[in-house]
Structure 1
Amino acid sequence: MGAILLHEHDLPADVAFSGSVAVDTETMGLKLHRDRLCLVQLSAGDGTCHLVRVAPEGPAPNLCALMADPSVVKIFHFARFDVAMLLARFGVLTAPIYCTKIASKLSRTNTDAHGLRALCKELLGVEISKQMQTSDWGAPTLSPEQQQYAASDVLYLHRLRDHMDALLAREGRTDLARACFDFLPQRARLDVAGWADEDVFAH
């Protein structure tokens, strides 16, 4: 694992990403309006991970500018949750997006193993641990184990995207995936506005 750089409250102004950035979040739970956003992880796919500890209140202008930057694709695994959390906390609508989980579900219909750990093991030959997933991300200090776990959630997303692109093209579903990715910001808006469990397209 490469360098892990920890930042407080916002991404430093001198940290820039070009083309694409892998993104993940850690929270106190899975309820948008109950559980707070604690950490945002970012990587350019170069082995370095930036960890931004999010304050309970207040802005993060540099982080939000990156999330809204139309020239930088944000690569997530299960983007729906992370994008909604960022929207609920900061009011920023993240775009454009690539979601490796959606890509896997559209291209790997021979399996139901679409989790990040399964994809890393099968496609990259990399074992990642989920042991720290439910640890206390709101703690005053993040342990080295927490930092390593958080970093592992973004360090491999660029490589996974390359595999997913090849599979989507092979199955003729690239355009369908792109349409799903494009809709994700609106899906997040629906979740934050209260329609997380209701299918507004149903009869």
Structure 2
Amino acid sequence: MKPTIHYLTTAEGIAQAAAHFATLPRIAIDLEFDDMRHRYGRHLALIQVFDGQEAYLIDPLELPDMAAGLEPLFVVLRDPAVAKVFHSCKSDILLLDELFDVHCRNIVDTSVQFTLLAAEDNNISLGRLIQAEMGFEVDKGEQKSNWLKRPLTEAQKEYAANDVLYLFELTDKLTARLAELNRVQWAMEENAALEDVRYGRDDQRPWARNAAKYKITPQEMPLYRELYKLRDMVARRLDRPPYHVLSNDKLAELVRQPIKTVAQLRAANGLHPELKRPPFAEQLLNLAHAELEPETPLPPDQRRFPFRRRLSGPAAARADARESLLMALKGHLATDHGAVMSNMVLSNRLIADIIEQGAGAALRPWQQQLLRESAERHGLKYEDIAEPFA
């Protein structure tokens, strides 16, 4: 028998449900949101909660003041006395931080738990995890539907509820398996770290993200930047994702083959019609002829040169020695615990962090323990990489 599904559309209903959630030791939770798929920006579309008996679909789009209407639920999310069981929660907690400045406490992520089992597939979806751990399939046909469109269909509601209905059983099963491997504490450390995940609000040059992929040269970057900004302006005006205005491929193409005449603009393919109308048509044509400001260097405090590129001479040699030791330890970890676990402790990113910061700052306690044990087992000095680079 399937649990009752409550569909909540009013602030009063949400407040009543949140008062109930606040009395529980744990809730299962998931968010549906639109991330530049159907509208410009990121928009919360639905919150699903399971209390162990019944499911609640909280519809924020019906609220006259979304933040105020959801605040009683946000109080529960901030409350460390109530565990919040998610699957692969980073996107959800980043959205809550970005839109509402809400920081979840006491997070239990079934994706984190499964990863620490060190199985071959560490990026497992919720559907596959349910199938693997519980032996049946759930319908995922609505995964890419438009969650901002109302009314929601019955299929969407059932899909949304399925994202939380099985999380308690999954986390209990995974906790038992972790306990058999003496890794429950590992999961606690990783889940605790999720409380500190924050949305990055300091990206001053978003156009630079794809520039390397399209091999945009320094000479091409000013036009690429201005086209990117024009596309973003039109997308905001239309409330549409930027790729609806101009694809990334077309953006790069226009850098190398600028549209210079009205005739070319009329004949151009792959442009949203709004780009062919005033005032954006004139702006697009002007960019092909304008003397554009070159990209200015970032201020020193915003430059992100890799640590190793800042070193030379004896300091670079010491960093190389640290890297050699870490690569040897990675091989020993693979021998002792398998390749998956070896990469979890010493991924390329973590090796770079350890070279600069030391294992004590870059790794969780459980990772430090495994690394120290492997070092001792194979006659290497953990102390040589424990402290920050000096």
TM over 0.5: yes
**1-side partners of 2:202 and 2:115: how far apart?**
25
**2-side partners of 1:129 and 1:194: how far apart?**
39
**How big is each residue's C-alpha offset from its partner over 1:132-177, in whole Å with a ceiling of 9 and x where there is no partner?**
0110100121110000000000000000000110111112211111
**In the TM superposition, what is the alpha-carbon distance from 1:124 to its structure 2 partner?**
1.1
**1-side partners of 2:151 and 2:107: how far apart?**
30
- Aligned residue for 1:13? 15
**In the TM superposition, what is the alpha-carbon distance from 1:125 to its structure 2 partner?**
1.8
- Aligned residue for 2:201? 193
- Aligned residue for 1:44? 51
Q: Given the alignment, which residue of 136, 139, 142 partners 2:152? A: 142
Q: Which runs of 5+ in 2 are unaligned?
A: 204-208, 210-303, 305-348, 357-390
The letter for the 2-side match of 1:117 is G
More helix by proportion, 1 or 2? 2
Determine if contact 2:111/2:123 at 8 Å carries over to the other structure: no
Instruction: Please give the residue correspondences for 1:47-58 in structure 2 after superposition, counting only pairs within 5 Å.
Output: 48-55=54-61, 57-58=66-67
Identity %: 26
Structure with higher Rg: it is: 2
- Aligned residue for 1:25? 31
- Aligned residue for 2:281? none
Determine if contact 1:73/1:96 at 8 Å carries over to the other structure: yes
The letter for the 2-side match of 1:72 is V
Determine if contact 1:113/1:119 at 8 Å carries over to the other structure: no
Instruction: Please give the residue correspondences for 1:76-87 in structure 2 after superposition, counting only pairs within 5 Å.
Output: 76-87=86-97
More strand by proportion, 1 or 2? 1
- Aligned residue for 1:98? 108
The structure whose RCO (Cα within 8 Å, separation 6+) is larger is 1
Task: Please tell me the root mean square deviation across aligned C-alpha atoms, in Å.
Answer: 2.5
The letter for the 1-side match of 2:35 is G
Determine if contact 2:114/2:122 at 8 Å carries over to the other structure: no
**In the TM superposition, what is the alpha-carbon distance from 1:94 to its structure 2 partner?**
0.6
Please state if 1:62 is matched with 2:57. Answer: no
**2-side partners of 1:54 and 1:140: how far apart?**
12
SS, match of residue 85 in structure 2: strand
The letter for the 2-side match of 1:34 is G
- Aligned residue for 2:182? 172
**2-side partners of 1:149 and 1:112: how far apart?**
23
**In the TM superposition, what is the alpha-carbon distance from 1:12 to its structure 2 partner?**
2.4
List structure 1 segments (4+ residues) > 6 angstroms apart after TM superposition: 197-201
Aligned positions, number: 198
Q: Which runs of 5+ in 1 are unaligned?
A: none
SS, match of residue 36 in structure 1: strand
- Aligned residue for 2:126? 116
SS, match of residue 139 in structure 1: coil
**How big is each residue's C-alpha offset from its partner over 1:83-122, in whole Å with a ceiling of 9 and x where there is no partner?**
1111222211011100000100111424446211111112
Determine if contact 1:45/1:157 at 8 Å carries over to the other structure: no
**1-side partners of 2:111 and 2:188: how far apart?**
13
**1-side partners of 2:139 and 2:45: how far apart?**
20
